[in-house]
């Protein structure tokens, strides 16, 4: 049996393509200030980017990346532990730790790798309690670790599972703080309380809220003043930070443990200088320009309410990640193609990334009110044409 000949998502793509829906791996010839991209010679509004603050094209971020390449080269030629650590990494780690309200931080090559590091926390007697909606990287992390995995649907279910768990081993509760597909948020207060009640450690993945939420942008945990009661924060520099890379933040002892034992970090080349410098410059802008995140949240609010007025329910999202649900992938795909034709690029998502078929919309601080109107007019026109209301 050919190992490559298994059924998979490539077949789902082929079915969509046969119906004229070509939504995946589309390549852009240009990105214009992040709010538009040029695909197949057409300029389309990008309404699906996670570059929430529009920092990936900010002149100061670009300059910082270019200066770092000139100074350090394009790659460091080794892992952090052996020969790849730069002062730049250390500076970024110090700043990110403070930003996330933690004692120490480690930066990694990607957010995915930061999450895979969690596998080093799971010994044979340990149990990982994971939210069923968690990102694929968190699911893979617990698959890679030893120990048992208990998935939970909500806080009541988590309580049941914690109460039923044998004592003796370590307990780790792992959750996204903002869920990446439906844009809903974890009940961090409830999770902290349960973790404390059942003597579990709490790990949150702040990939989608660091830079966007919190009084200084330090993420949802800082919105509730909970950063001191969370054992580890993981995150990504690929979204609001407009760069690439991941972060692990927690107590100095816990970060030291991960630095030395997490294989996805230990056996991988250090974050490139340009990415580290871009993230540092982005962090300065995040701290100095709170109006950027305010703008992102305002545009998201306008898009949520405009979609609701058109009859599209964007619940359970309360964030800039805006889901529009459909009965099946055929309906979602037709809508995606209609919007693309109308000049609006969205993300077409289905299982296993999300529970059902949906479009995932997001706008960045580089968009403006006119862009919201453009998206809403396109949704309205396509909806009328397809006689579909999501």
Ligand X SMILES: Cc1ncc(COP(=O)(O)O)c(C=O)c1O
Per rule CB under 6 A, is residue 236 in the interface with ligand X?
Answer: yes
Task: Determine whether 172 is exposed, middle or buried from the number of CB atoms within 10 Å of its CB (0-12, 13-18, 19+).
Answer: buried
Q: Which of 58, 89, 135, 239 is catalytic?
A: 239
Q: What is the dihedral of CA 341, 345, 346, 347, to 10 degrees?
A: 100
Min dist. Cβ of residue 57 to ligand X (A): 18
Q: Under the criterion CB under 6 A, does residue 110 sit at the interface with ligand X? A: yes
* Residue 208 falls in the annotated catalytic set: yes
Q: How far is the CB of 136 from ligand X (least distance, A)?
A: 8
43 is a catalytic site residue: no
Beta strand spans in the chain (E): 30-32, 36-39, 42-46, 104-108, 127-131, 148-152, 171-176, 201-205, 232-236, 246-250, 322-325, 344-345, 347-349, 358-361
Q: Which of 102, 119, 175, 180 binds ligand X (CB under 6 A)?
A: 180
Among 101, 246, 323, 390, binds ligand X (CB under 6 A): 246
Based on the shown chain and the rule CB under 6 A, indicate whether residue 177 belongs to the binding site for ligand X: no
> Which residue in this structure is represented by tokens 């670009």?
62
Report the residue closest to ligand X, judged by CB: 111
Q: What's the closest the beta carbon of residue 108 comes to ligand X, in angstroms? A: 9
Check binding of 207 to ligand X (CB under 6 A).
yes
Among 35, 222, 238, 317, binds ligand X (CB under 6 A): 238
Question: Is the Cα torsion angle 289, 95, 57, 64 positive or negative in sign?
Answer: positive
What are the φ/ψ torsions at residue 204 (nearest 5 degrees)? -120, 145
Part in contact with ligand X (CB under 6 A); list of ranges 6-14, 110-118, 265-273, 329-337 = 110-118
How many amino acids of this chain bind ligand X (CB under 6 A)? 14
Q: Does 35 sit near ligand X (CB under 6 A)?
A: no
* Of the residues 115, 130, 175, 296, which one makes contact with ligand X according to CB under 6 A: 115
Instruction: Give whichever of 58 and 135 is closer to ligand X, judged by the CB atom.
Output: 135
Answer whether 57's CB lies under 8 Å from 31's CB. yes
The answer to whether residue 275 forms part of the interface with ligand X (CB under 6 A) is: no
Partner residues linked to 129 by β-bridges: 150, 173
**294: exposed, middle or buried (Cβ count in 10 Å: 0-12, 13-18, 19+):** exposed
Contact 184, 175 (CB under 8 A): no
Binding site for ligand X (CB under 6 A): 110-112, 115, 135, 137, 176, 180, 205, 207-208, 236, 238, 246
Just list the catalytic residues: 180, 208, 239
């Amino acid at each position: 049996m050919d190992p490559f000949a298994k059924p998979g998502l490539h077949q789902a793509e082929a079915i969509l393509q046969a119906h004229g829906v070509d939504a995946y791996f589309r390549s852009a010839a240009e990105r214009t200030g992040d709010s538009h991209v040029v695909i197949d010679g057409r300029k389309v509004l990008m309404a699906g980017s996670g570059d929430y603050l529009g920092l990936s094209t900010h002149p100061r971020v670009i300059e910082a990346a270019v200066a770092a390449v000139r100074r350090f080269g394009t790659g460091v030629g080794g892992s952090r532990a052996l020969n790849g650590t730069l002062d730049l990494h250390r500076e970024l780690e110090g700043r990110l730790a403070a930003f996330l309200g933690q004692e120490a931080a480690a930066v990694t090559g990607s957010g995915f790798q930061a999450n895979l590091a969690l596998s080093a926390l799971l010994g044979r007697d340990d149990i990982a309690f994971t939210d069923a909606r968690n990102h694929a990287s968190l699911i893979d992390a617990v698959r890679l670790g030893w120990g048992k995995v208990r998935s939970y649907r909500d806080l009541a279910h988590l309580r049941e599972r914690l109460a039923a768990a044998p004592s003796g081993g370590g307990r780790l509760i792992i959750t996204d703080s903002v869920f990446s597909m439906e844009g809903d948020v974890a009940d961090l207060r409830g999770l902290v309380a349960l973790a404390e009640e059942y003597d579990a450690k709490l790990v949150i993945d702040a990939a989608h809220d660091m830079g966007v939420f919190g009084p200084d942008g330090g993420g949802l945990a800082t919105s509730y003043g909970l950063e001191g009661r969370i054992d580890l924060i993981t995150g990504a520099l690929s979204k609001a930070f407009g760069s690439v890379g991941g972060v692990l933040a927690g107590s100095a002892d816990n970060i030291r443990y991960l630095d030395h034992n997490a294989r996805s970090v230990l056996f991988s080349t250090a974050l490139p200088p340009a990415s580290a410098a871009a993230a540092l410059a982005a962090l300065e802008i995040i701290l100095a320009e709170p109006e950027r995140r305010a703008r992102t949240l305002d545009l998201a609010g306008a898009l949520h309410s405009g979609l609701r007025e058109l009859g599209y329910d964007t619940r359970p999202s309360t964030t800039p990640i805006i889901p529009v649900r459909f009965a099946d992938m055929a309906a979602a795909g037709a809508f995606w193609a209609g919007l693309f034709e109308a000049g609006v690029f969205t993300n077409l998502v289905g299982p296993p990334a999300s529970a059902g078929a949906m479009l995932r919309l997001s706008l960045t601080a580089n968009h403006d009110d006119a862009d919201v109107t453009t998206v809403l007019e396109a949704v309205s026109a396509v909806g009328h044409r397809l006689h579909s209301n999501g």
